[in-house]
Amino acid sequence: MTQRKSILIGGLYFLLFAFLFFGFSYWISGGQNGWQSRDKIALIRIEGVILDSREIVRELRRYQRDPDIKAILVRIDSPGGAVAPSQEIYDELKKIQASGEKKVVSSMGSVAASGGYYIASASDIIFANPGTLTGSIGVIMELTNVEGLLQKIGVENVTIKSGKNKDVGSPFRKIKKEERALLQHVLDDVHNQFIEAVAEGRSLEIEQVRLLADGRIFTGRQAREAGLVDQLGSLEVAIAKAAELVGIEGEPTLIEPKERSPLQKFLEGKMFGNWDRSPLSAGPIGLHYLFSF
């Protein structure tokens, strides 16, 4: 029994030693993220419809505090999304810019439109591929009216409200003229916020941006001609430029956030009360900086 116990303890010590040895070797060699280098570029990917900013903002703040991170490269492949998350990511990038400690570079993939472009405009320099779809500076709200369908199947909606505008946008009746004007007023204000943010981020006159802010999309080449993009080039070109801006010689070390495991996502959702966070739970009603085909 004593001999078996000794073998077991010895085995545990061996495993611990092996774990420390290989972990140290991985750290020394740089591993996946190149921890041996003190001159690093953080790569943040914003992909798909933007519904939540928390994870991106958390990573941006972590990289902002890291003195080894010299620049932040934002790779955007998104048609945009909800207004508030897009604004929150933009604001966080502007804070990093204002600190003067790190450069911010954006690289556009296939699509970087509406909220995607909103975020990109908070950069020291923007790269796009010639065929990137970008722009779409505008706001959209889409409502559904199922009143006719309910009448056909014999279902009646009953609404009890405390104010005449409490059910503006209800899918159970047609929208009134004055209600449409009310919603348009809201959209116009949020649209102006978009224009002001782009003007500030790109150092352009507001009226200059307003001429481009009718919701149209541009190719990367057209966006460059319009002053919305600085240079044409791939992600690799943007990486090289970011390294140049901060004085990194040779191949820069890239740091990317590690993908959370399904278990981590599950526990996060349960612990922080986000069990119902999903594209469907966001609902169709709301203001969106979103480009859709």
User: Is 166 a catalytic site residue?
Assistant: yes
Per residue in 136-186, pLDDT (tens digit) is 999 998 888 888 888 899 988 888 889 888 888 888 889 899 999 999 999
CA distances, 59 to each of 27, 65, 84 (Å): 21, 10, 18
pLDDT tens digit sequence for 32-52: 444 455 789 999 999 999 999
190 has a pLDDT exceeding 70: yes
pTM, rounded to two decimals: 0.79
Residue 35: what pLDDT? 46
pLDDT of res. 92: 97
Q: Domains in the chain, please, with CATH?
A: 32-290 (3.90.226.10)
> Given this model, what pLDDT does residue 12 score?
61
More confident residue, 139 or 266: 139
Burial status of residue 96 (CB atoms within 10 A of its CB: 0-12, 13-18, 19 or more): buried
pLDDT more than 90, % of the chain: 60
User: Is 114 considered catalytic here?
Assistant: yes
Catalytic residue among 114, 123, 136, 170: 114
Q: Which of 164, 166, 174, 265 is catalytic?
A: 166
Tell me, what amino acid is at 161?
Answer: K
Q: Is the pLDDT at 121 greater than 50, yes or no?
A: yes
Strand-pair category, 217-219 with 288-290: unpaired
Single-letter amino acid code for the residue at 57: V
What's the pLDDT score for residue 5?
57
